[in-house]
Structure formats: C-alpha cells, structure tokens
Structure 1
Amino acid sequence: MKKMRKIFAVLLTLAMVLGMSMTSFAADAKATITLTNFDKANKVEYMQIIQKDETKTSGWAFTNGAGACFTETFGLKDSDDAQQQVIWGLIKYNDNNVELPTGVTAETATAAKIDLALSKVAALTGFTASTDKTKIEVSAAGIYAIKAEETGFTYKTATAYVGFGKPYPALTNAEVTAKKSPTTVNKTVADDDHVVAIGDIVTYTIEAYVPFIDAANTENRTFTITDKITGADYYLEGKGAISTVEMEGQTDPVGTIEVNEDQTGFTINLNKLVADTSNLNAGKKITVTYTAKVKELNVENKAGSHAAGVEYGGNNVSVKLFTGEITLVKFGNGIETNVLANAEFEVYKSGENTPLKFKQQENGNYRYAPDAEDATTTVITNKDGKVIVEGLNVGTYHFKETKAPKGYSINTDGKDITLTQTGVATATVKADGKLNDTKLHALPSTGGIGTTIFTIAGCLIMIAAAGLFFASRKKTNK
C-alpha cells in the first residue's frame, strides 16, 4: 500500500511539473505577423483591437477602445451586446462557413465598414512601434491593427488575424501586405534633349496615384491634379493635339483637362475616384497626356495634386525646355576685326527650301516666328557685324547672303552653322560662325578710252563716205 502511495505521489508530482511546464510554454508561445512591403516605411505601429475573452458569447472582446469605433461605424449604439454583434459579424466575414450559435445576432461586415472603423481606430492612442519592419511577434490570439507612415506615400490601416474566428483560439501566424499609394506626381516631356523651337508641339505626361483617404473623412474627399505652365500655350484641340486622363485598369477616360481662365494652368477634378470610403481605387495610377505649343524662348511647367486638402508635388522640380540661338559675324576683306553692318541674309534649315520667318525684337535679335503674319525672311547684321537668330531647335542652318554691304561682293557660298546638344539641356543652346565678304575694286569705264577713239574715227569715216556719196550723185545728175 505504501508502495502504491509513493507511486501515486510521484505521478502527482510529475503531473504538477508537467502542468507548470505547459503553462510556462504557453506563456512563452508567440505568433509571427509577417509584414510585406512595409520595409521602407518611416514608422510601423501595431495594437491589438480584439482579444480572447471566454466570458463572452463569441469568445472574443474588443480592447483598447476599438469597440466604440466599430459600433459607431456599424450604426449601433455602443454596448457590450452591440460589440458582440459586430464581432460575430467579423467572425462570419473572416470565415463564412462558421455556424452561429442559436440566438446570436451578427452584424453584416463589409470591407468598406471595416476600413472606416479601422480609420477611426488609427486615431486612438495605445499603438506600439515595431522595431522590425518585416515582422511583428505577438503572444496573444486576436485581431491586430497595423498602421504605417512613409514620406511620399499614404497607407491604408491593415489588420492581422492571429488565430481569430473560433471560440477557443490558438496562436497562428499571419501575413499582412501593405496597401499604400504614392503621393508623388511625376512630370515628363517627350523630348529627349529638352531643346525645342518656337511653334513646336510638345507632348507632356503626368503620372499620379489615387491616394488612400482616411475612411473616417467623409466631408473632404477630394482629389485633383493640377498643372502650371509658362512659355507655351496648352494645345488640346486641333491637328496632332492630345488631351487624355486615364486610370490603370479602366478603358474609359476618368476626367477632363479644364484650363484656367488665365490660360497658365489647368485642373483635373477626380473627386469621384475617392468618393467611396472603401478606397477601391486607391493606389491606381493616373496618366495624363497632353500637348502644348511653344511660344517663348524657354518653357517651364510643373504638375501637382491635392487630396483631402493636402497638397502634393509642391517640391517637384519644374520640367524645363530651351530653344537654340545662333550668332553670325560678318567681316570684310579677310580681316575679322573689320565687321560689316547691313549684310542681309535668309536662313534655311538643312533639307528645307523655304526660308525661315523671324520678327526683330527690341534688343535687335531676330526671333523665329513661323506663325506670325508680319514676320520677315530677311535678317540684317547690326553695327557690330552680328546677326542673332533665336528660338530654334537643334540642327544645321544655312545663312544665304542676299545683299552685301556697300563696297563688298556677296559671298555666294553662304555659311552653315549647327546647333548641337548632348544630354538634357539646362540652358539656351548656342552656336556661332563667321563669314567673309570680298571688297570690290575700282574698274575702268566699260570700253575704256581706246574704244572712244575708234568710235569717233568710225563716225568720221562714215560721214566722209556719206559726203563723197552725195557729191558723186550730184555730179552724175548734172
């Protein structure tokens, strides 16, 4: 009997040790929430919003003040019973095959309602910063809210379900992928070297992304794309014009370009893309393509966007375009310092037979003016022997002399000058060249003095011959 008591005592001791070991093991058990696409965030924070509670009908209870956020979103007066109805709805949302106990009411949960509730939860205190942006380790089953911040992005508050959904939960690992939208607005132009000519039609592209707007924000759900331009006019209609606003995944246009009254900018209203608090379009790329016509020597413009009252792209670097400028110096008799004024030229672009048209500016330069009715094809050197033509694209230009300065002959060869640009231009592209004229020398009058003598002699001979002729006839008549 004593032996049996000893064996029983040993077994009881082992059971107690095993029980303590299991309790210790359970206390040390952890689950891992794997974070995907959060690695570049400036900050990642998490907070448990539903925890295990076996005293509740669902086996779960809200924590950290999250219950009121959900009941308000679901249109319920906050109470313990209302919170249980929401939790049962979340259980069904997570696993629609779960059978509800008799007498239990479950509020229908939707993605839009959950997102709205989470946006309210994100404003609560009690979040813990994660030291690891690739994973979070937790020791209790339930639902966790995860929010992040990153410069240049808006994030949607995410949830991780750790063993949630059964009355008697167990720790299970979970994975959460960040849903974020860039706030950047990128502007490009379809001209590799950024050198253009006045009158050119250039194509611009703006890329932006539909932002995540806090689902709790129901009063200021706005999203616009804006553009400002100088040195060019928007060219949205006519031959070769482009004006499109597209969103990835949709074939129909999602907006129209509305040019401001002062013609210096435009606004695209995209409010309808963010009107739904579920943020169904968040993160989708918007592509705006349009054309503009160059009218000045330099063109500069910048795109931006506004979302829910916040301006994005304000620090963007402007896209700049530049024109080319050529200076031709006219000199005489092989002496480069002997500059010649009033030499007249026509300017042709290589491969073209029609001279370019220019308008003279107040500074004396000739600006390319292909569309101006009062433009001229003649450019004239100034007192310094220079003629400066501006507003040109890269390429080779031929200067054909049409009138030489007084005392000089026309140089029939003319002059070819080439504007070149390697890489992206950051300033006006310039080129220059020189052209020599030969001085005219004094020449004798046509025929010279010798010709005059012969002419007089010839006339005398003819007079004498005529006299002899008439004298002979008179004698014969007698």
Structure 2
Amino acid sequence: MKKMRKIFAVLLTLAMVLGMSMTAFAADAKAIITLKNFDKANKVEYMQIIQKDETKTSGWAFTNGAGACFTEAFGLTDSDDAQQQVIWGLIKYNDNNVTLPTGVTAKTATAAKIDLALSKVAALEGFTESTDKTKIEVSAAGIYAIKAEETGFTYKTATAYVGFGEPYPALTDAEVTAKKSPTTVDKTVADDDHVVAIGDIVTYTIEAYVPFLDAANTENRTFTITDQIKGAEYYLAGPNAVNSVTMEGKDRQVGEIVVNEDGKGFTVNLNTLVAGTDNPNAGKKITVTYTAKVTKTTVENKAGSHAAGVDYGADNVPVKLFTGELVLLKYGDGNVNNALANAEFVLYKDGEEVPLTFTKQENGKYKYAPDAEDATATLVTDENGMIDVEGLDVGSYHFEETKAPEGYSINTDGKTLTLTVNGDVATAKLYNEGQLNDTKLSALPSTGGIGTTIFTIAGCVIMIAAAGLFFASRKKSDNK
C-alpha cells in the first residue's frame, strides 16, 4: 500500500510538472502574421481588436475600444449584445460554413461595413509599431488591425485572423497583403527628343491611381485629375485627335476631359469611382490620353490629382517641349562686316517642295506659322543683315535667296542649316546659324557708245558738205 502511495505521488508530481510545462509552453507560443507588400512602408502598426473571452456566446470579445467602432459602422447601438452580433457576423464573413448556436444572432458583415469600422479603429490609440515590416509575432489568438504609412501611397487598414476558429483558441499563423494605392501622378509625351515644331499635334498621357479614401469620410469623397498647359492648346476633336479617360479592368470611358474657360487647363471628375466607402476601385490605374497643338516656341505641361481635399503631384517636374531656331547672316563682297539689308529668302525643310510660312514678331524674329492666315513665305534681312526664324523641329533647312539687295547678285547656292539634339532629351532651345555672301554687280557699257557718236558726226559733216556743193554749182549755172 505504501508502495502504491509512493507511485501515485510520483505520478502526481510528474503530472504537475507536465502541466506546468504545458502552461509555460502555451504562454511562450507565438503566431506569425506574414506581411506582404508592406516592406516599403515608412511605418507599420498593429493592434488586437478581438480577443478570447469564454464568458461570451461567441467565445470572443472586442478590445482596445474597437467594439464601439464596429457597432457604429454596422448601424447598431453599442452594447455587449450588439458587439456579439457583430462578432458572429465577422465569423460568418470569414467562414460562411460556420453553424451558429441556437438563439445566436449574427449581424451581416459586408466589405463596406468592415472598411468603415476599420477606418474608425485606425484613429484609436493603442497601436504598436512593428520593428519588422515583413512579419508580426503575436501571442494571443484573435483579430488584429494593421495600418501602414508610406510616402506617395494611401493604405487600406487590414485585418489578420489569428486562430479565429476551430480548434478554439489555438494559435495559427496568418498572412496579410497590403492594399495600397500610389498618390503619384505621372505625365509623359509621345515625343522622344521633346523637340517639336509650332503647329505639331503632340500626344500626352497621364497615369494616376484611384486612392483609398477613409471609409469614415462620407462628406468629401472626391477624386479628380487636373492638367495645366502653356505654349499649346488642347486639341480634343478633329483629325488625329485623342481624347480618352480609362481605368484598368473597364472597357468603357470612366470620365470626361473638361477644359477650363481660360483654355489653359482641364479637369477630369472621377468622384463616382470613390463614392463607395468599401473603396472597390482603390489602387486601379487611371489613364488619361489627349492631344494638344503646339502654338509657342516652348511648351510646358503639368498634371496632378486631388482626393478628398488633398493635392497630389504638386512637386512634379513639368513636361517640357522645345522648338529650334535658325539665324542667317547676309553679307557682301566677302566681308562679313558688310551686312546686307533687304535681301529676300524663302525657307524649305529638307524633302518638302513648298516653302515654310512665318509671321514676323515685334522682336524682329520670324515665327513658324503653318496655320496663320497672315503668314508669308518671304523672309527679309534686317538692317544688320540677319534673318532669325524660330519654332522649328529637328531636321535640315535650306535658305533660298529670291531677291538680292540693290547692286548685288543672287547667291544661287543658298544656305543649308541643320537642327539636331545633343543627348536624349533637349534641355534648351536648339540653335544653329550660318552666313551667305553676295557679289556686287559688274559695270556694263552704255547703250550706243562713242563709236556711234563719231559716225553720226561724220555723217552730218558729209551732208553739210554735199549741200554746200549743191548750192555752189547751182549759183554758177545761174550766172551763165
């Protein structure tokens, strides 16, 4: 009997030790929440919002003030019973095959309701910053809210279900993928060297993303894309015009370009894409493509977006386009200091048979004007013998002299100048200059020179002599 008691005591001791070991092991147990696409965030924070509670019908209870956020988002008056209805709704939302106990009511959960609740939770205090942006270790089963911040992005507050099911309340790992939307606005132009001519039709593309708007924001759910342009005018209809606003995943247009009254900018209203508090379109790319006609020697263009009163893209570098400039100096007698005014030229682009047309500016320069009614092809050198033309694209151009200054002959060779880009993208206006010499006309003999004069005088003398002889002979006849 004593022996049995000793054995029982040993077994009891072992059981106690084993029980303590199991308790210690349970206390040290960890679950890993794997974070995907959070690695570039400036900050990642988490907080448990539902924890184990065996006194509740669901076995779970809200914590850290999250219950009131959820009951409000679900349209309920806050109470323990209302919170349990929400939790049962979340259980069903996570696993629709769960069978509810008799007498239990579940409040239907939707993505919009959950997003609204989480936006309220995100404003609570009590979040802990994670030191690792790839995973979070937790020691208690339940639901965790995870929020992140990153420059140039908006994030949706996420949730991780850790051991939220059978067997209760065992810890199980979870995985959460960040849902984020860039706030960047990218602007490009379909002209690789960024050099154009006045009158060219150029195509621009704007890329932006539908933002995640706080689901608690029901008063200011706005999203627009804007554009500003200088040196060109919008060309949205007509031959070769492009005018398009699309969103990935949609075959139709999702917005319309509306040009401002001053013609220097436009707005695309995309409020309908962010109207739903569940942010169904968040993160999707918006592409705005349009054409514009160059009207000045330089063009500057910039785009931005505006979401819920916040401006994005203000720091973007404008997309710039440039035109080229040619200068010709006309001089005479091989002396470059002998500038010739009033020489007339026409200018041809290589491969074209019709001369280019220009309008003369107040500064004396000729601006390329292919569409202007008052444009002329005639270019006249100024008092300094100069012709300065601007607004041209890259390529070779030939000055053909059509009228020389008084006292000089036309130089039939003319002058060819070429505009090229040094580097991949022009950083300033292209420029080239050249010179052309005219030769002074030679003196020609006068019509009817001195030889004719001599013959005329000799003829007159002969005629006078003949007349004298005639009258002398007649007088002799009369005397007889």
Per the shorter chain, which TM-score range? over 0.9
State the distance in 1 between where 2:299 and 2:450 align: 67
Q: 1:76 to 1:167 in 2, by over 3 A?
A: farther
Q: 1:158 to 1:455 in 2, by over 3 A?
A: farther
The aligned counterpart of 2:467 is none
Q: 1:200 to 1:456 in 2, by over 3 A?
A: farther
State the distance in 1 between where 2:5 and 2:167 align: 40
The aligned counterpart of 1:406 is 406
After superposition, give the CA deviation of every residue in 1:237-279 in whole Å (9 maximum; x if it has no partner). Answer: 1111111100011011001000111111111110000001110
CA contact (8 A) 1:341 1:384 kept: yes
What percentage of aligned pairs have identical amino acids?
A: 81
Q: Does 1:228 align with 2:228?
A: yes
Q: Does 1:418 align with 2:418?
A: yes
Aligned residue identity for 2:427: T
The aligned counterpart of 1:35 is 35
CA contact (8 A) 1:54 1:167 kept: no
The aligned counterpart of 2:274 is 274
State the distance in 2 between where 1:416 and 1:446 align: 40
Aligned residue identity for 2:388: I
| SS of equivalent to 1:98 | coil
The aligned counterpart of 1:130 is 130
1:56-455 to structure 2, matched below 5 A, reads 56-166=56-166, 168-422=168-422, 423-446=424-447, 448-450=449-451
Aligned residue identity for 1:294: V
State the distance in 2 between where 1:430 and 1:350 align: 17
State the distance in 2 between where 1:414 and 1:245 align: 49
State the distance in 1 between where 2:388 and 2:456 align: 53
| SS of equivalent to 1:89 | helix
State the distance in 1 between where 2:462 and 2:157 align: 122
What displacement does 1:405 show?
1.3
State the distance in 1 between where 2:411 and 2:368 align: 24
What displacement does 1:101 show?
0.6
What displacement does 1:168 show?
1.7
State the distance in 2 between where 1:399 and 1:454 align: 51
Aligned residue identity for 2:287: T
State the distance in 1 between where 2:153 and 2:246 align: 21
Q: Which runs of 4+ in 1 moved over 4 A?
A: 450-462
Q: 1:13 to 1:326 in 2, by over 3 A?
A: same
Q: 1:190 to 1:139 in 2, by over 3 A?
A: same
CA contact (8 A) 1:60 1:167 kept: no
What displacement does 1:304 show?
0.6
Aligned residue identity for 1:387: I
State the distance in 2 between where 1:262 and 1:428 align: 27
After TM superposition, the structure 1 stretch with the greater mean CA deviation from structure 2, 351-360 or 172-181, is 351-360
Aligned residue identity for 1:325: E
Aligned residue identity for 1:328: L
CA contact (8 A) 1:58 1:167 kept: no
CA contact (8 A) 1:330 1:385 kept: yes
| SS of equivalent to 1:91 | helix
State the distance in 1 between where 2:182 and 2:53 align: 39
Q: Does 1:21 align with 2:14?
A: no
What displacement does 1:2 show?
2.0
What displacement does 1:42 show?
0.5
What displacement does 1:362 show?
0.9
After superposition, give the CA deviation of every residue in 1:319-343 in whole Å (9 maximum; x if it has no partner). Answer: 1111110001111122222221111
Structure 1, gaps ≥5 residues long: 463-478
Q: 1:386 to 1:98 in 2, by over 3 A?
A: same
The aligned counterpart of 1:471 is none
Q: 1:79 to 1:458 in 2, by over 3 A?
A: farther
Q: 1:220 to 1:454 in 2, by over 3 A?
A: same
| SS of equivalent to 2:75 | coil
The aligned counterpart of 1:470 is none
After superposition, give the CA deviation of every residue in 1:179-231 in whole Å (9 maximum; x if it has no partner). Answer: 00000011111111111111111111000000000111111100000011111
After superposition, give the CA deviation of every residue in 1:58-85 in whole Å (9 maximum; x if it has no partner). Answer: 0100000000111111111100011011
Count of residues paired in the alignment: 464
- CA-based RMSD: 1.9
Aligned residue identity for 1:433: G
What displacement does 1:441 show?
2.1
State the distance in 1 between where 2:25 and 2:444 align: 120
The aligned counterpart of 2:53 is 53
Q: 1:455 to 1:18 in 2, by over 3 A?
A: farther
| SS of equivalent to 1:221 | coil
| SS of equivalent to 1:176 | strand
Q: 1:404 to 1:51 in 2, by over 3 A?
A: same
Q: 1:14 to 1:100 in 2, by over 3 A?
A: same
CA contact (8 A) 1:220 1:308 kept: yes
What displacement does 1:451 show?
6.1
The aligned counterpart of 2:473 is none
| SS of equivalent to 1:383 | coil
| SS of equivalent to 1:113 | helix
The aligned counterpart of 1:5 is 5
TM-score, scaled to structure 1? 0.94
State the distance in 2 between where 1:9 and 1:229 align: 90
Q: 1:227 to 1:188 in 2, by over 3 A?
A: same
State the distance in 1 between where 2:365 and 2:259 align: 32
Aligned residue identity for 1:372: A
After TM superposition, the structure 1 stretch with the greater mean CA deviation from structure 2, 112-121 or 164-173, is 164-173
State the distance in 2 between where 1:454 and 1:54 align: 144
| SS of equivalent to 2:290 | strand
State the distance in 2 between where 1:452 and 1:96 align: 127
Q: 1:330 to 1:2 in 2, by over 3 A?
A: same
